[in-house]
Amino acid sequence: MNDIATVNAVSNAAPYLVAIRNGTHQWSADEPVALGGADLGPTPHQLLLSALGACTAVTLRMYSARKSWALEEVQVELQFNPDGPPAGGGNDIRRRITLRGELSAEQRERLLQIANACPIHKVLSGEVRIATSLA
């Protein structure tokens, strides 16, 4: 098993509060008060978006560093179903990337291509199979 990608989520406190751990780090998820939660952490949808945002930013920084490009900052703004649930089913994620630094138009275009190749983008845009069992 790949320990880097192993996470445990436990809910036994406030109505929807979930403690999440990976062996090194700990974080939380919850639902907003309007949905019966205590709003003690981001929602699961926000955590999903944060994975894509973090992966996008890190991927762009790593690529720029290897190329010695003058990328100073990456900002990634993400929205889940910003126009409501799609009529045809599925889900939409809107991602807006702001790049700061002295970059040519060609470098900026290449970074957009690289953003679309980040590992989490590939996972979310590909087929995902989830095997679920009871312990």
91-102: pLDDT as tens digits: 999 999 999 999
Average pLDDT over residues 35-48: 96
Please give the backbone phi and psi of residue 76, each rounded to the nearest 5 degrees, phi first.
Answer: -125, 120
pLDDT of 38 over the 90 cut: yes
**What class is the 44-125 domain?**
alpha beta
Confidence tier at 13 by pLDDT (50, 70, 90): confident
Q: What is the pLDDT of residues 110-124, one digit of tens each?
A: 999 999 999 999 999
pLDDT of 90 over the 80 cut: yes
H or E stretch at 106 = helix 105-115
Domain boundaries, the chain: 3-35, 44-125
Non-local (6+) Cβ contacts of 77 within 8 A are: 53, 95, 96, 97, 98
